[in-house]
Amino acid sequence: MSGTSAWGCYGAGKAVLNHLAKTLAKEEPAITTLSIRPGVVATRMQETLASTHFAKMEQNDTERFKTMRKEGKMLKPEQPGNVMAKLVLDAPAELSGEFLK
């Protein structure tokens, strides 16, 4: 993901989780840890983004999200949710520490 205007803390938090998953995979090999980027999901966060935060973002970033919403390109929450649930129950150990898209 490239940088998105006004999303510094959000992106930094995601980077921390990615690094934590890699570190835990090395330090705790009996535990499978993953970091997942589900994509743009039609959640309340997206609603808040559109109603409040677009004013603080650069126009090209707001246009990207508006277009995705308009064209129905945001995922339904159950789509990545089902994938994550399957991974929670049965993630292959060889994926430990990976960043999945």
Smallest CA-to-CA distance from 53 within 14, 4, 3 is with: 4
Angle at 16 between CA 87 and CA 86, to 5 degrees: 5
pLDDT in tens, 6-17: 888 989 999 999
Global model pTM greater than 0.95: no
Whether 96 contacts 28, CB under 8 Å: no
Amino acid (one-letter) located at 91:
A
pLDDT in tens, 48-92: 888 888 888 999 989 998 999 999 999 999 999 999 999 999 999
Distances (CA, A) of 43 to 25, 46, 90: 30, 5, 25
Whether 100 contacts 61, CB under 8 Å: no
Q: Domain segments of the chain: what residues?
A: 8-100
99 DSSP 8-state letter: E
Q: How confident is the model at residue 4 (pLDDT cuts 50, 70, 90)?
A: confident
